Structures are given as C-alpha cells and as structure tokens.
Amino acid sequence: MAIPLQYNIRNLFARKGSTLLTAVGIGLVSWVFIFTLALAGGFQAALQETGSHENAIVVRNGSTAELTSILPRDVAAAIESQPEIARAPDGTPLVAHELVVVWNLERKNGTSTNVVVRGVTPKSFVLHSKVRLVEGRMFRPGLEEVVVGKLANARIAHLGVGDKIKLAGHAWSVVGVFDAQGTSFDSEIWGDVELFMPVFDRPVYQSVTFRLDDPSHFAAIQKRLESDPRMSVQVKHEDDFYAAQSATLAGLLRGLGLFVTLIMALGAVFGALNTMYAAVGARTREIGTLLALGFSRGAILTSFLIESVLLATLGGLLGCLLVLPVNGITTSTTNFASFSEIAFRFQVTPMMLLSGMIFAAVMGALGGWFPSRNAARRVIVEALRQA
Amino acid sequence: MRYFRLIWANLLRAKRRTFLTVFSIAIALFLFCTLRTVITSFEASLRASEATRLVVRHGASLVFPLPLAYRERLVQVPGITGVSYGNWFGGFYQDPKNQFAQFAMDVPTMFDLFPEVLVPADQIQAFRSERTAAIIGKALAKKYGWKVGDPVPIVGTIYPGDWRFVVRGIYEGKTKDVDESSLFFHWDYLNESMPEGRKNQVGIYWIRVQSPDMAADVSRRVDAMFENSPQPTKTETEKAFQAGFISMIGNVQLLLTIIGSAIVFAIMLVTINTMMMAARERTTEIAVLKTLGYSDGLILRLVGGEALLVSLLGGILGCGLAALVFRESDFTAGGFFPNFRVLPETILAGLLLAVLMGILSGIVPAVTAARLQVASALRKVA
C-alpha cells in the first residue's frame, strides 16, 4: 500500500521556510535554463524565419552572406530568364534583385551601430511576404525616400516617419515603417534599388531572390545556374541561407546555456540532497512508525522520492512563472555574417517551459534518491528508539 | 583564532552536509568566474590597445574602402609619427566554421605600428622577402598544428578564390591580452591579385601619434582633411574602435550579469537553508555551551564563523578550479574567445562574493543561536 500523497504535501507545508528556500533555489536553475534557451531561440527564429522555403536566393559562389556577394547586372538578367521561376499575375517573373550595404548609424542612446540598407524592387515586397507596411506609405521609386523596419525605427535615431536620414551624402525622407514579424528585415532600411546603385556607387547587385513555380524544381535550377560557366554563383533555399547565418551564434548561446545550467543543476542537487537528508533525519521516528504500521520499504522510498520531486517541481513552476515576463523583450546582437545589428525578441515557447519543468523534476529525483533510500533502510526498532 | 578547532570539529561532524554545501558554493563561484571571464575576454582587445594608436576608416561604413593615396596625406599631418594599413580578409580554412582573423598588412610598416607583435628577427626577414608568406599567432599555430614552412590554404569570401600562404613566422603577444590567433600576410600580394577596379583599396589605416593627448586633435584634423571628398573618414582611438566592436555584440554583459546573479542567489538560498538546518539540529548543544558559560557574542561568532568558513572553502575551491581549468584546457569556445583566461581581479571578486555569501547565510542562524534562551531550549528537546 502506498503512503498517501497528503502526507508529503503536509510535510512540505510544515517546513515552510526550508521548502521555500530549496524550491526557489531549484526554480532559479530552471529560470536560467529557460532564459538561455529563449535567448538562443529568439535569435535563431529571427534569422530562420527571415527566409521562406518556397524562395531561392542566389549569391556569388563562396559568399555566406549577401554582404560579400557581387552579382553583375548581366548575371541577374540571366537568372531572371530561368523557366522555373513563378510568375506574378501580370506575367512578369517573381524575381527581386537587391543591393545590400551596411551603414554606420547612431542609435537613439547615442552609440553607433551598423545597419543594413537594402535596395529593393516592388517584387521584394511580394517575395518577402512577411513584410507589411504598418505606418506611413511606401517609398516612390526614383525619389529619395525609404521605409524602415519597426525595430530599426524603434532603436535607431532619425528613423521616424517624416524624419530625414543621411545616407551616402543624400538626405532620405523616411516615409513608412514596415513590420517583418520579428525577422531580421525588421532591423533594416529599404529603398529603391535602381536609385541606390548610383548613389551608393555600387554598380552590382548582392543577391537575387526568386519564387519557384514548383518547389520540386529547385534542384534543377540550382544545378543549371551553379554549373553555368558565365557566372560563379550558388543557389540556396532562402530559409537555409539565413538559418546558416544563425547557426554559430545560436549554437554558442545554447552551448553556454547548457554548460552553465548543467553545472548549476549539480549545485542545486547538492542543496536538495541536504534538504532531504535533513528531512529524513528529522523524521526518523515517523519513519519507524510508518514501518511499524506495515508500510513497505518500497512505499517509504517512493513517498520520500515523491516529496523531493514535488518540491523541485514547485521550484520549476516558480522558475516558469518568473521567466514569462522575459518573453518578448527585445535585445540585439550583431549578425556577424552581415556585420550589422540585428534586434530580436526573447522567445519563451511552451516546449521550453515543459523542458524547464522536466529539468526541475529530474533535479528533485536526483536530489531525493539517496536520502529516500536512506529512509527506506531504517530498522524499525532503532528508528523508534532514536530521538 | 582559539575557537577555530571547535568550528572545524563541528564541520567535520556532519561530513556529508559540509561536503555538499562546500561543493555547491564552489560550483556557484566557478560559474561566476566563468561568466565574468567571458566578459573580460571580450574586453581583452581594449586592454591590448595602445593609447597612441588611432584607427582611420571610411566614415559611413566598414564595407567601403579608402584609397591608397590617403597614405601620403596622412604621413604629412603634424603629430603623426607612423602610418600603416591593412585589409580585413575574411576568409576561412577548409570549412566556413574554421574562422579566424586574417589581415592583409603593409609589411614594411606593420611591426613599427604594432610593437606588441613579437616575431624572431630571422622569421621577420623570411616573412618580408616572400610575396605569399604569412605569420600566424602562437594559438592559431597550436590549434591547427601549423609550423614554419607549412602551406596554409584559405578560401576567400570578400576576396573570392583559393589563396595559398606559407607560414614564415609565428608571433607571440607582448602581453597576455594580445590576440594570438590571427594570420597576417602581404597587402601587396592581395593588391596585385585584384582586378583593375579593386586595386589600391585600403580597409583601415592605423596611425600613431606622438602622445595620447594629441589623439583627439589629430582625429579631428584627419577627418576634416577628407570631409568633402567622396570617401570621408572616421578617425578614433584604437580603444574606441574596439569598444565599438564590443558594443556590436549587444547586451551580453547585462545578460551574463543577470545569469550570474541568478546563480549566486540560488546557491545562496540553498546555503542559507543548510545553515539554518544545521543550527536547528544543534539547539540543545548550543544551550549546553551557554550553560557552560559561553557568552552570546561567542556563540554568535562560532555559528557565524562556521558559515563563513564553509563559504570561504567553497569560494577557494570554485575560483581555484576556474583558474586552473581554463588555463590548462586552452578553452576558446570554438575560437570565439581567443584568450580565455581568468583574471586575478575576477578571482578576488569571487572570493569577496564567497565571504558575502558566508555572512548572509550565517547571519540568521548566528543571531538565533545567540538569542537562544537556555531554559526553554533545553526544555523543548527533553
């Protein structure tokens, strides 16, 4: 027969101070665990979701980012004429050739940062389908006007609608703000590519993005373009291209998070061991009584183990609650592939919360195992005689 | 301290508990030192920068180069005692994951401007006299097992193609803060290999000024000189330039401080709990000591001293372990932190933190024990 769960719950309440201290200790470990996952996850999501799987992006062979890529006009034209490219309703191919430069601008707090300035075509807004204008209006081709991503708008000085921003010696009117749903485009400034080329003195494109008429045609067009002797290019799924840029940093963040939390968990398990040993020690007579009443050693072991897991899960729950306010907080780092600032939001997912809870429960089980076994091995007579 | 033996005996009585507590504190301080070292490693470039060295780059963006012709104009600016230049090469070895810094440098001037890069004289000679020669840092040489005379193939991304350099020298830093994981090769070699439109382009000029207090003045003068040209410049001290890079990494410092505080706080709570349990179990004993004539103040010091001793032991263990592990393992997190080493300041801060944890975790049980009423304490247990 099992010892009622009520026994454990009441015991935890009986030692309120000790329960709380241990639970908060374990909760903080879960908190750090989820916190680092949310940081790495948010950064990765910002880049990964920038690309869409139905799009392909072409850059110069050997370039891992648009910044180091060069595609002359004739190469861009040759790409545009490929048959596998989807068509807009008006029959023109869904292709955007874009220019990318990085510009040193001032943050609102006075420090300076590198911002991606992207020359785009009307088709860019079709291909990057997450981008929606949320304030002001679109720039007019041929005029010195730009639209800016919402995170750039929030963090960089002089990027409000109606402001003028100085780029390449010209003053550009900011006429609109777009929302790219947390992707890296949100940290960028967009304008007319045909105007950017002469102004920025860059007679070449950095990338060509197109929509495939059928996803299964990717391999064919990739092979044809990459083996074309007139150009030295590489073709990638757009989502893979951006995901690769996040791999190093996200991996590093996850690695650091895992390293820190695993070691920290060891410390918390030691704490839980202490608490449970003390709990077992203080209840020696109770254990003797339970044994005398006929509860099996297995039942006693299970009961103490449950108590420990319960305590830790309580802590895990606390950690989850404390980490929720972090969700959505914007922070920034540099995408070293593009050498520019990328703002992103902490992303706490239900999966992360669940992992945090499981993590806490495992800590509880580890911390409870030895003391519980110790409890179950007591000898009735000695236990009752003691104390 | 006369009562040290008594405190020590008390600790040894509950060996398991003492061991667990000391280790959990050691873990907290090990992590504290690690996280703190992440921050100080980022800042190594700041400590390595020279106060008389300035960086001149394109005013708008790092992606735009400056003309080679600026060199002649910079040399003539009063107060400037040396000019060198170079380009960030941005290639990789075999796989894009194998990244380290490569710079095309103006070889005749680089050792003058960078006296902290130490190379044996014969190796400098060999490096100077061969077009495709390169010198590499000691850490880089160790990582890939490269020796003098080895060929090093690099795939260019900014300067596409397969490049092949020959190691002619291995440099060491004058101080521990100098990065020893870069590769330097001839700027002339890069320039000759460029097509007509990309020749004579310089990424960065380094200039040396006579004394640090001239830095601001010279910066202004240089920037004013090129202000209305198609390639305006931005001149700042090397330190400010490096600080700009560090700020690019974002709020790392804040995030790591948050994580570190959470760790220390968590372990402190656990320690407080343990100390309170330990004191509670000994209520009778403390009452007996008091009956024997031990004063309240002495009891306070005995119980508090126990907490302090446990924390300090944990602190020494944790900080010592961190210093040892990272010195022996050449940990670089995949090249991200070229010189990851625990600074003495960090260890000192860790030990202070341990003392603080000891005081905070000992204060409640110590005060409780000191205030204990002998009669009621003895009655409670009986």
pLDDT band for position B334 (cuts 50, 70, 90): low
Model confidence at B189: pLDDT above 90: yes
Residue from A270, A338, A344, A370 whose CB has the most chain B CBs within 10 Å, to mutate? A270
B-chain residues within 8 Å CB-CB of A103?
60-61
* DSSP 3-state percent helix, strand, coil across chain B (nearest 5): 55, 20, 25
Interchain contact, A28 vs B277, CB within 8 Å: no
Residues in chain A: 387
- C-beta atoms of B160 and A60 within 8 A: yes
3-state secondary structure of B4: helix
Partners of residue A260 in chain B, C-beta under 8 Å: 31, 34-35, 259, 263
Within a 13 Å sphere around the CA of A286, how many CA atoms are in the beta-carbon half?
A: 13
A18 with B273: Cβ contact below 8 A: yes
Phi-psi region of A144 (alpha: psi -120 to 50; beta: other; left: phi over 0): beta
pLDDT at B102 over 80: yes
User: Could you report the per-residue pLDDT of B108-139, keeping only the tens digit for each?
Assistant: 999 999 999 999 999 999 999 999 999 999 98
The mean per-residue pLDDT over the stretch B35-61 comes to: 87
Residue B61, classified by CB atoms within 10 Å of its CB into exposed (0-12), middle (13-18) or buried (19+), is buried
Amino acid at A206: Q
- Give, in order, the Cα–Cα distances in Å from A139 to each of A128, A166, A192, B293: 16, 16, 8, 88
Report how far residue A179's alpha carbon sits from residue A194's, in angstroms, rounded to the nearest whole number.
Answer: 23
**Percent over 70 (pLDDT), chain B:** 96
A204 vs chain B: nearest CA distance in angstroms?
13
Q: What is the DSSP string of A106-126?
A: EBTTS-EEEEEEEEE-HHHHH
Q: Do A333 and B249 touch (CB under 8 A)?
A: yes
Chain B residue with the nearest C-alpha to that of A203: B197
Q: Spell out which residues of chain A touch residue B266, defining contact as CB-CB under 8 Å.
A: 24-29, 264, 267-268
Sequence-separated (6 or more) residues with CB below 8 Å from residue A355: A33, A34, A37
Structure tokens at A271: 């704490």
| pLDDT the model gives residue B277 | 82
How far is it, in rounded angstroms, from Cα A124 to Cα A96?
5
Angle among Cα B250, B251, B253 to the nearest 5 degrees reads 120
For residue A104, the chain B residues in CB contact (below 8 A) are 59-62, 234
**pLDDT at site B80:** 93
Q: Which backbone phi and psi does B230 adopt, to 5 degrees?
A: -65, -25
Residue-level pLDDT at B151:
95
B382: pLDDT strictly greater than 60: no
* H or E element that contains B271: helix B252-281
**ipTM surpasses 0.90:** no
Closest CA to A113 of B226, B243, B223: B243
Residue B198, number of CB atoms within 10 A of its CB: 12
Pure H helices in B43-165: 44-48, 70-75, 107-113, 121-128, 138-144
Contacts by A382-385, CB closer than 8 A, 24 or more apart: A382/A288, A383/A284, A383/A285, A383/A287, A383/A288, A383/A291, A384/A285, A384/A288, A384/A289, A384/A292
Residues of chain A with pLDDT under 50: 387
Q: What is the DSSP letter of A63?
A: -
Contact B273 A22 (CB under 8 A): yes
Q: What is the pLDDT of residue A351?
A: 94
A182 backbone φψ class: left, alpha, beta (φ>0; ψ -120 to 50): left
- Say if CB A284 and CB A387 are below 8 A apart: yes
- Position B143 scores a pLDDT of 87
Q: Which residues of A touch B24 (CB under 8 A)?
A: 266-268, 270-271
Instruction: List the helix and strand counts (H, then E) for chain A.
Output: 12, 12
Beta-bridged to residue A97, according to DSSP, are A208
What gap in Å lies between CA B76 and CA A133, rounded to an integer? 51
Nearest to A114 among B35, B248, B333 (CB): B248
Q: Which residue of B has its CA nearest to A332?
A: B250
Angle, helices B344-371/B252-281, rounded to nearest 10 degrees: 30
Tally C-beta pairs within 8 A across A and B.
161
CB contact under 8 A, A260 and B35: yes
Cβ-based contacts of A60 with chain B (< 8 Å)? 160
Return all residues near B213 (Cβ < 8 A) that are at least 6 apart.
Answer: none
Instruction: Determine the distance in angstroms separating the CA of B177 from the nearest CA of chain A, rounded to an integer.
Output: 22
Identify the pLDDT of residue B52: 92
Q: What percent of chain B has pLDDT over 90?
A: 49
A contacts of B90 (beta carbons < 8 Å):
68
B274/A62 CB distance under 8 A? no
CA distance B33 to chain A (A): 11
CA distance A54 to chain B (A): 25
Across the interface, whether the CB atoms of A264 and B28 are under 8 A apart is answered: yes
| A327-336, B229-238, B339-348: least confidently modelled range | A327-336
Pick B68 or B256 by higher pLDDT. B68
* A200 Cβ neighbours under 8 A, 6+ residues apart: A99, A101, A117, A119, A167, A168
- CA pseudo-torsion sign A96, A51, A62, A228: negative
Q: What angle do CA A135, A140, A141 make, to 5 degrees?
A: 140
Q: Which of B62, B266, B267 sits opposite A102 (nearest CB)?
A: B62
Phi and psi dihedrals of B73, rounded to 5?
-75, -35
As to burial, measured by CB atoms within 10 angstroms (0-12 exposed, 13-18 middle, 19+ buried), residue B221 is middle
Q: What is the pLDDT of residues B156-177, one digit of tens each?
A: 888 888 999 999 999 999 988 8
Residue A111 C-alpha, separation from nearest chain B C-alpha, in angstroms? 8
pLDDT at B333: 60
Q: Which residue of B has its CA nearest to A27?
A: B266
With CA atoms as reference, the chain B residue closest to A343 would be B250
User: Nearest CA to CA, how far is A86 from chain B (Å)?
Assistant: 30
HSE-up of residue A99 (Cα within 13 Å, Cβ side): 21
CB contact under 8 A, A341 and B248: yes
Are the CB atoms for A80 and A174 separated by under 8 Å? Answer: no
Q: What is the CA radius of gyration of chain B?
A: 30
Which tokens is B160 given? 């596409």
Our CA-based measurement puts residue B124 at a distance from the nearest CA of chain A, in whole angstroms, of 32
Tell me if residue B116 falls in helix, strand or coil.
coil
Is the dihedral angle over the CA atoms A126, A127, A130, A136 positive or is it negative?
Answer: negative
User: For residues B367 and B279, is the Cβ–Cβ distance under 8 A?
Assistant: no
Residue partners of B178: CB distance under 8 A and separation at least 6: B48, B116, B117
**Contact state of A260 with B27 under an 8 Å Cβ cutoff:** no
With beta carbons under 8 A apart, name residues in chain A contacting B25. Answer: 267
Would the CB atoms of A331 and B34 count as touching at under 8 Å? no
pLDDT at B190: 95
Cα nearest neighbour of A279 on chain B: B277
Radius of gyration (C-alpha) of chain A in whole angstroms = 30
Which residue shows structure tokens 């454990």? Answer: A8
Query: Do A168 and B60 count as a contact with CB atoms less than 8 A apart?
Result: yes
Cβ of A101 and B61 within 8 Å? yes
Backbone torsions φ then ψ of A348, nearest 5 degrees: -95, 115
| B330 has pLDDT over 80 | no
Phi, psi (degrees; rounded to nearest 5) at A30 = -60, -40
DSSP letter for each residue of B83-110:
EEEEEE---BSSSTT---EEEEE-HHHH
Q: Nearest Cα to A121, choosing from A100, A95, A101, A144?
A: A95
Confidence label for B319 from pLDDT (cuts 50, 70 and 90): very high
- Using a CB-CB cut-off of 8 Å, the residues of chain B touching A271 are 20, 24, 267, 270-271, 273-274
3-state secondary structure of A2: coil
Residue type at A224 in one-letter notation: R
The average confidence (pLDDT) of chain B is 88
**Contact between residue B117 and residue B111 where contact means Cβ atoms under 8 Å apart:** yes
Q: Is A36 within 8 Å of B160 when comparing Cβ atoms?
A: no
Q: CB–CB of A32/A315 below 8 Å?
A: no
Axis crossing angle, helix A297-323 with helix A5-14, rounded to the nearest 10: 60
| Best to test chain A binding among B227, B263, B331 (most A CBs inside 10 Å) | B263
- What is each CA distance from B278 to A23, B157, B241, B369, B379, in whole angstroms? 18, 63, 54, 11, 19
**pLDDT at residue B26 tops 90:** yes
